[in-house]
Amino acid sequence: MSSSVAVGALVWWMVLLTIKHVAADFLLQNSWMALGKDRKTGWALPLLAHTSVHLVLTTGLMLATAPRFWFLGLIDFAIHWLIDRAKGFCVATFDVRYENAAFWWLIGTDQGLHHLTGFALAIYLAAYA
């Protein structure tokens, strides 16, 4: 990969991927997904449903804008699954509740890692798309 990328392309991809992330994580995530993926048991299906939304939106975005990068949907899915599972594991194992500062630290870390994922994908796309 080049040590530099076009700033315009990087900003463009970041905007698109951020809009996709907000749609998938906030507009299209229902309470069954949000609460279910953080349970001690029965977390797999809500987590799969939520991360599948990311898979569909990222893949759709790639097919509409840069079809040869369709596979980035699978990468986004896998990374999102790992990040959300780690957060859910912490919430369930340590009985973290939204009233605790630890919960908000976990949410902030979760969102920060998702944003960094989008940034990494944007760098890749700006360099190769």
pLDDT single digits (tens) 47-104: 999 999 999 999 999 999 999 999 999 999 999 999 999 999 999 999 999 899 999 9
Q: Is 2 within a domain?
A: no
Give the structural domain span for 12. 7-128
| Dmax (CA) of the chain | 45
How many domains, the chain?
Answer: 1
Whether residue 2 has pLDDT greater than 70: no
> How many of the other CB atoms lie within 10 Å of CB of 101?
8
Instruction: Phi first, then psi: give them for residue 39, nearest 5 degrees.
Output: -80, 160
Evaluate whether residue 55 is within a structural domain.
Answer: yes
14 within domain boundaries:
yes
Find, among 90, 76, 98, the residue nearest to 24 by Cα: 76
Evaluate whether residue 98 is within a structural domain. yes
